[in-house]
Amino acid sequence: MKTKKPVMLFLLAGMAMGMSLGVSANDDIDVLQYQQINIEGAYNGKSPGDQIEAYRKKLEKQSEDIVKSKIEKQRIKQEQQLNNNLQNIFSGHGGDLDDHSGKSEKRLDKEHRKGKYKQEHAKIGPLIGVTTLKGENFNYESNLSGGVYVESPLMDYRAGLGLSFNYMGMDITEINPVLYQTYYGVVGNTFERDLDYTLYSIDFYGKYYLSQYSAIRPFVGVGLGYNRSTLKYQDKVNTNSFPQFGNYQREVIYNNSYFSGLLMGGTDVRFSDNFGILVEFRYRKAINAAANQSNQTFVQNVNGDQVFLNELGESIDNSHSAGVSLGVNVYF
């Protein structure tokens, strides 16, 4: 029994020491978790309300920094956009100084990427149409006329220079009265003769387009044309009253070369990268038709047919010519 007492005492001493260590650890945790209170009963640290206020201010500062950063990025973007618009204006691409959002530039870039809006190349195409010629004593309408043209863009597709080759044909019927003296008096009759009028012209012109990057591009233009006209009878019967001159069966013909001025208007309509249509109006007026007549020899003074052809041909060449044409644009 004596040998067990020291063991029991040792165990009791160990348990007492463990309890004292546990109390000391708990005291340390409480000191870390709770605010210290001085001997006067006041808190030494910040209150929970002060901590919340400090956290709120910290969040406000972070939010303010984020907003300032975004505003600065937007300002730099707008300055870049304004600079791009100014460059587009001075280079002829257009642009809007008030368009700070970049939508205008994005739209133009998108249209440039689309083949239907591109105008990088020249175009060529055929033309068909009709022409009306109005003079003092007549109002003629041509047969179906035609031509071909080629055009190259200028001024960043705002304008264009072109060259066209044109043909126009027209049938004219001459009605001549014939009077006969008979026993019963003067008897009248008429006979008809058909004539052919042809006009070949080479036109050099300039166009100004009212839009650049659009599928529909209206335009106006002016030009100068060189013309070669011919007028002759369809038959070869010569009504010369003086056969002694030896030209009774000779064919008479009227030829003339002259320059003319052009006024133009119309629109281009584009359907794809390579094809479109052209609707065009042209007004033509001779500049020097009478001064450049290429008439025949002295027979014009004695040949009624030649005199008639000269007078009618000159009137047609000096008439007001207005035509409407439809063409097919081929871009290349």
Inform me whether the pLDDT recorded for 140 exceeds 70.
yes
Taken in order 92, 94, 99, 103, the sign of the CA dihedral is negative
Inform me whether the pLDDT recorded for 262 exceeds 90.
yes
- Pick from 257, 321, 332, 263: which is nearest to 292 by CA? 257
Q: Where are the domains of the chain?
A: 59-112, 120-331
Inform me whether the pLDDT recorded for 108 exceeds 60.
no
The predicted pLDDT at position 299 comes to: 44
Place of tokens 């052809």: 309
The predicted pLDDT at position 246 comes to: 46
Inform me whether the pLDDT recorded for 25 exceeds 50.
no
Q: How high is the mean pLDDT of the chain? A: 76
For the residues 195-206, what does the mean pLDDT come to?
Answer: 96
Place of tokens 């036109």: 203
Give pLDDT tens digits for 44-61.
566 777 778 888 888 888
Selected residue with higher pLDDT from 152 and 24? 152
Burial per residue of 316-328, b for 16 or more beta-carbon CB atoms within 10 angstroms, e otherwise: bbbbebbbebebe
For the residues 202-212, what does the mean pLDDT come to?
Answer: 93
Selected residue with higher pLDDT from 64 and 199? 199
Highest mean pLDDT among 99-113, 246-260, 318-332: 318-332
Is residue 228 a contact partner of residue 123, using CB atoms and an 8 Å limit? no
Give pLDDT tens digits for 63-95.
888 988 889 888 888 888 888 888 877 765 554
Selected residue with higher pLDDT from 286 and 31? 286
Place of tokens 């207005």: 322
Please tell me the least confidently modeled range out of 8-12, 35-39, 126-130.
35-39
Classified as helix, coil or strand, 296 is coil
The predicted pLDDT at position 213 comes to: 75
Inform me whether the pLDDT recorded for 197 exceeds 60.
yes
The predicted pLDDT at position 245 comes to: 45
Q: Does domain 120-331 have CATH number 2.60.120.620?
A: no
Is residue 154 a contact partner of residue 120, using CB atoms and an 8 Å limit? no
